[in-house]
C-alpha cells in the first residue's frame, strides 16, 4: 500500500492537537479508510480519515458536496428530534480553508468524526442487530424522501443498471484481459443462463411501475454502525452512492450481505446459505420503518430486488476477476472469484425460496 504523509494531511483539517497515529481501518472495498488519532490536551481523540477512490469518483468536489448536503440535512433532523448529530450521522470535518476534502496534488482525503463504541459487522452475529440495521436503513430512506433530489449529483451513473452490468461482463469475457476465462466457465455459464433476469427491475423503473427515489445504494451491514452497549443501530454511513434508485435494491443489497451467515468472501461454500429466518428479521424491521410510504409495486419487487442485487454483485465480482482485479480491493489471488461464488450460491438458494420470500414480504406489508 502506498504511504501517505498523514501528519501533513491531518494538519490540513480542523482536527485539534498533536498527531499520534493513522492506521488502516475497516473492511471497505472502495476507499482507503484509516483511523486517525490526535492528542488533544493529553487525551486521544479518534477520527476517520479516508483516501477517496478518485479513479472511481472522478468529481470529488461534487461527491463531497452531496455528502455535505445530506449530512447537514440529517444532522438538522436528528437535532430537532433531540438526538446526538455527532453520533447518529456522519459528520464531515472541514479543512482549514473550509473545504470538505483536501487534495495534496495527487490524492483526495476527507475526515469524519469517529463514531465510537459501535461496530460495523461483517456478518450478522445476532439476529437483533440485523433487525436494527433494517430499521436504520428504513429510517434513512424516510429521511432521504424529504431531501430535495435536484440538489444531488449522480456520483456513479448506472450504478445499479443491471443491463449495463451484464454488458460489462460480456465485454470482460470477450476481452479476457486476465487470461482467466477458461478457469471460470462454470461461473460464466451461471451468469449467462440468467440473461433474462437482467432487465427485470430496470424495465419497471423505466416504465415508472417502480418509483425512482433517492436511495443509499450500498446498504450492506458493514455500512451501518451498531451500538456496542445497546445493540441498536447508531448511524448509516458510507454515503458516496446516494443517488436516484429504488428501495427494492437497497432492501436487496442488505439481504444479499446479511442473510448469509458466512462472509462475503468465504471459500467454503458449504457455509454459504441463504437464511430465510434472517430474511424475515430484516423484512420486519424494514416494514416497521417504511411500509406506510412503500407502494404495492415496491413491496411486490422486494424479493426480486434481493435476487437482482445478489446476481448483480456476483457479476460485478466476476467481471473484475476477468478484468484482472482493477475495481474491488483484493487481499489474495482469486479473491473476486471467491466473492463471485458466494453470491451465485446465494442466488441459487434465493431462487429456490422465492415464493417463501414473497409470502414473508406480504405478511409484513399487509400486517
Q: Please report, as ranges, the residues that interact with ligand GN1 according to CB under 6 A.
A: 28-30, 218, 220, 223, 238, 240-241, 264, 313
Residue 27 per-residue DSSP state: -
Residue 33 engages ligand ADP in binding (rule: CB under 6 A): yes
User: Which of 319-337 are b and which e, b meaning 16 or more Cβ less than 10 Å from the residue's Cβ?
Assistant: bbbbbebebbebeeebbbb
Please say whether the beta carbons of 214 and 159 come within 8 A: no
Shortest gap between Cβ of 88 and ligand GN1 (angstroms)? 19
Q: Which is nearer to Mg ion, 32 or 223 (CB)?
A: 223
Helix, coil or strand: residue 74: helix
Say whether residue 238 binds Mg ion (CB under 5 A): yes
Q: Quick one: which segment of 30-38, 56-64, 125-133, 335-343 binds ligand ADP (CB under 6 A)?
A: 30-38
* Cell triple for 243: 443517488
Residue 358 CB, nearest approach to ligand ADP (Å): 30
Q: Least distance to Mg ion from the beta carbon of 131, Å?
A: 20
31 touches ligand ADP by CB under 6 A? yes
For the window 214-233, what string marks contact with Mg ion as x by the rule CB under 5 A?
---------x----------
In the chain the first and final C-alpha atoms are separated, in Å, by: 51
Chain centre to alpha carbon of residue 257: 10
Radius of gyration of the chain (CA): 20
Among 21-29, 148-156, 276-284, 312-320, the segment contacting ligand ADP (CB under 6 A): 21-29
Answer yes or no: are the C-beta atoms of 87 and 115 closer than 8 Å: yes
264 binds, among ligand ADP, ligand GN1, Mg ion, none (CB under 5 to 8 A by kind): ligand GN1
Q: Does 26 bind ligand ADP (CB under 6 A)?
A: yes
Sequence-distant (6+) residues with CB within 8 A of 43 are none
Q: Which does 120 bind (CB under 5 to 8 A by kind): ligand GN1, ligand ADP, Mg ion, none?
A: ligand ADP
Pull the grid cell for residue 351. 431462487
H/E segment holding residue 24: strand 18-24
Binding partner selected for residue 301 from Mg ion, ligand GN1, ligand ADP, none, CB under the kind-specific 5 to 8 Å limit = none
Number of residues that bind ligand ADP (CB under 6 A): 20
Name the residue nearer to ligand GN1 (CB basis): 108 or 364.
108
> Do 133 and 221 contact (CB within 8 A), yes or no?
yes
**What contacts 31, CB < 8 A, 6 or more positions away?**
50, 51, 52, 53, 240
Residue nearest to Mg ion as judged by C-beta position? 238
**Residue 228 · residue 117 · CB < 8 Å:** yes
Cell numbers at residue 348, please?
441459487
Cell of 215: 436511495
Give which of Mg ion, ligand ADP, ligand GN1, none residue 115 binds (C-beta under 5 to 8 Å, depending on kind).
ligand ADP
CB of 69 or CB of 156, closer to ligand ADP: 156
Binding of ligand ADP by 153 (CB under 6 A): no
Q: Which residues bind Mg ion (CB under 5 A)?
A: 28, 223, 238
Q: Which residues bind ligand ADP (CB under 6 A)?
A: 25-31, 33, 48, 90, 112, 114-115, 120, 222-223, 225, 237-238, 240
Amino acid at each position: 500500500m502506498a504511504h501517505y504523509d498523514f501528519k501533513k494531511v491531518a494538519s490540513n483539517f480542523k482536527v485539534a492537537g498533536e498527531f499520534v497515529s493513522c492506521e488502516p481501518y475497516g473492511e471497505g472495498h472502495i476507499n482507503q479508510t484509516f483511523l486517525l488519532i490526535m492528542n488533544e490536551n493529553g487525551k486521544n481523540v479518534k477520527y476517520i480519515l479516508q483516501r477517496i477512490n478518485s479513479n472511481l469518483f472522478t468529481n470529488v468536489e461534487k461527491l463531497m458536496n452531496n455528502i455535505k448536503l445530506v449530512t447537514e440535512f440529517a444532522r438538522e433532523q436528528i437535532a430537532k428530534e433531540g438526538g446526538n448529530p455527532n453520533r447518529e450521522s456522519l459528520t464531515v470535518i472541514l479543512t482549514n480553508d473550509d473545504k470538505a476534502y483536501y487534495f495534496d496534488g495527487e490524492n483526495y482525503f476527507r475526515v469524519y468524526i469517529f463514531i465510537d463504541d459501535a461496530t460495523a459487522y461483517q456478518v450478522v452475529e445476532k439476529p437483533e442487530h440485523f433487525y436494527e440495521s433494517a430499521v436504520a436503513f428504513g429510517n434513512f430512506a424516510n429521511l432521504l424522501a424529504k431531501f430535495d433530489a435536484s440538489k444531488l449529483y449522480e456520483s456513479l451513473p448506472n450504478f445499479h443498471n443491471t443491463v449495463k452490468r451484464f454488458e460489462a461482463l460480456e465485454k470482460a469475457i470477450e476481452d479476457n484481459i486476465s487470461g482467466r476465462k477458461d478457469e471460470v466457465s462454470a461461473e460464466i455459464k451461471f451468469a449467462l443462463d440468467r440473461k433474462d433476469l437482467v432487465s427485470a427491475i430496470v424495465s419497471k423503473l423505466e416504465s415508472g411501475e417502480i418509483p425512482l427515489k433517492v436511495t443509499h445504494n450500498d446498504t450492506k451491514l458493514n455500512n451501518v454502525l451498531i451500538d456496542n452497549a445497546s445493540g441498536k443501530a447508531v448511524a448509516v454511513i458510507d454515503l458516496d452512492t446516494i443517488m436516484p434508485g429504488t428501495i427494492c435494491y437497497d432492501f436487496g443489497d442488505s439481504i444479499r450481505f446479511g442473510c448469509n451467515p458466512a462472509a462475503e468472501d468465504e471459500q467454503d461454500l458449504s457455509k454459504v446459505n441463504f437464511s430465510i429466518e434472517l430474511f424475515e428479521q430484516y423484512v420486519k424491521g424494514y416494514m416497521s420503518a417504511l411500509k406506510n410510504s412503500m407502494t404495492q409495486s415496491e413491496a411486490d419487487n422486494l424479493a426480486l430486488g434481493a435476487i437482482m442485487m445478489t446476481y448483480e454483485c456476483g457479476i460485478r465480482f466476476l467481471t473484475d476477476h476477468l478484468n484482472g482485479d482493477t475495481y474491488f480491493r483484493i487481499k489474495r489471488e482469486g479473491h473476486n472469484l471467491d466473492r463471485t461464488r458466494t453470491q451465485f450460491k446465494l442466488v441459487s438458494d434465493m431462487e429456490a425460496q422465492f415464493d417463501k420470500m414473497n409470502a414473508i414480504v406480504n405478511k409484513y406489508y399487509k400486517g
